Amino acid sequence: MTPTTRPRRLRHNPRLRALVRETTVRPTDLIAPIFVTHQRGEPRPIGSMPGVSQWPVELVAREAEAIARSGVTAVLLFGIPEQKNATGSDAWSETGVVQRAIREIKQAVPELVVIADLCLCEYTDHGHCGVVNGTVGKADPRLPEGYVLNDPTLEIYGRIAVVQARAGADVIAPSGMMDGMVAAIRGALDGAAYDHLPIMSYSVKYASGFYGPFRDAAQGAPKFGDRATHQMDPGNRREAVREHALDVAEGADILMVKPALAYLDVIRETRDRFPELPLAAYNVSGEYAMVKAAAQNGWVDERRVVLEILTAMRRAGADLIITYHAKDAAQWLSQPGRP
């Protein structure tokens, strides 16, 4: 009888399946976002993101400690400032909400990697990611109302990066999708003697409908217009390669694709084109909220679906996954009998 190959031979019990599993997810692959607010009191639950809260600066170390205990080794900070204005000046204040949070976390959990998101949408009164045409100085009539001005915004990004570095951030993560943002931030950091700090660039960030709950959480929705002039069109994949290549040339240390679940092909393309750099995938708020809603209705097994989604992102090529499920996923991954 001619021997035949039967793949099912390697599936007949959980121990054997685990032994030959090609793709795994570990708690150390995950990054937990934290929303930090200047407001005092107890953490404020975010209605559209069950299980996620805005943390007062005075209490944020408590959440960081819980994340570290779960086995997750990195956090990504977003700030909700006390005051907003046209240029988002609280973002580069020494006493800004994220800078204060960095100091609190590094004092309480010094071993935790603290990544500082760098953008202006949470800090501006108009909700856009940079200086908007006509809101500061004379408007340029050649540009549409609400257009984000690239180069004036880069100068501000450089200021923010230095202040975040001075507060103790381990990684700077620019998310504004301005042309030249990595070069501007790299130059500012190097000039301030922070050349050792890496940049995790939101190098490919799509103008996605999956950000809705985040905008509630960070209170940074645009007051007019949208972000399609600087974030990527969801139909474009070749352009993503170009965006990554520009950021690599400017000195990015870690690349990112955001969102993740609807862009697994872009993650795979990125991994194939740029194998030398770590790659992060952002499992965004809308992706999180959909799973939560379905689980609360009893339509899906949350644990099983989340681990399957995270595995898909790793299988597509992501080294790191930013996810609001980080703490729960870390606990599930440590439990025996996981799929």
pLDDT tens, position by position, 53-74: 999 999 999 999 999 999 999 9
pLDDT for res 94: 94
pLDDT of 112 reads 97
- Tens of pLDDT along 173-191? 999 888 999 999 999 999 9
Q: DSSP readout, 43-63? A: -EE-TTSTT-EEEEGGGHHHH
Residue % of the chain over a pLDDT of 70? 94
88 compared with 237, residue with greater pLDDT? 237
Give me the half-sphere count of Cα atoms (radius 13 Å) on the Cβ side of residue 317. Answer: 20
**Using one digit for the tens of pLDDT, what is the confidence trace for 240-289?**
999 999 999 999 999 999 999 999 999 999 999 999 999 999 999 999 99
Q: Is the pLDDT of residue 76 over 90?
A: yes
* Domains observed in the chain: 25-333 (3.20.20.70)
Give the model's pLDDT for residue 336.
63
Residue-level pLDDT at 3 = 64
Q: What is the largest CA-CA distance in the chain?
A: 85
pLDDT band at 139 (very low <50, low <70, confident <90, very high): confident
pLDDT at residue 223, as a whole number: 54
* 42: CB partners within 8 A, 6+ apart: 56, 59
pLDDT 10s digits, 2-25: 567 788 888 888 888 888 888 999
CA gap 267, 314 in Å, rounded: 9
Q: pTM here?
A: 0.92
Q: Which residues contact 199 (CB under 8 A, 6 or more apart)?
A: 171, 172, 173, 174, 182, 185, 186, 189, 251, 252, 253, 254
Check: CB of residue 325 under 8 Å from CB of residue 303. no
The per-residue pLDDT for 2 is: 56
The lowest-confidence range among 65-74, 85-94, 322-331 is 85-94
Task: For residues 193 and 204, give the distance between their C-alpha atoms in angstroms, rounded to a whole number.
Answer: 28
> Annotated active-site positions, please?
205, 258
CA separation for the pair 16, 293 (Å, rounded): 34
Distance CA 333, CA 339 (A): 9
Name the 3-class secondary structure at 125.
coil
Q: Which long-range contacts does 262-265 make (Cβ < 8 Å, 24+ apart)?
A: 262/208, 262/210, 262/234, 263/204, 263/206, 264/312, 264/313, 264/316, 265/237, 265/316
pLDDT score of 113 more than 90: yes
The per-residue pLDDT for 1 is 45
Q: 207 pLDDT band (50/70/90 cuts)?
A: very high
**Closest Cα partner for 208 from 173, 174, 242, 259?**
259
Which helix (H) or strand (E) segment is 190 a member of? helix 181-191
Q: Are 163 and 103 in contact (CB under 8 A)?
A: no
54-63, 105-114, 131-140, 223-232: least confident range: 223-232
Band (305; pLDDT cuts 50, 70, 90) = very high
Q: How confident is the model at residue 120 (pLDDT cuts 50, 70, 90)?
A: confident
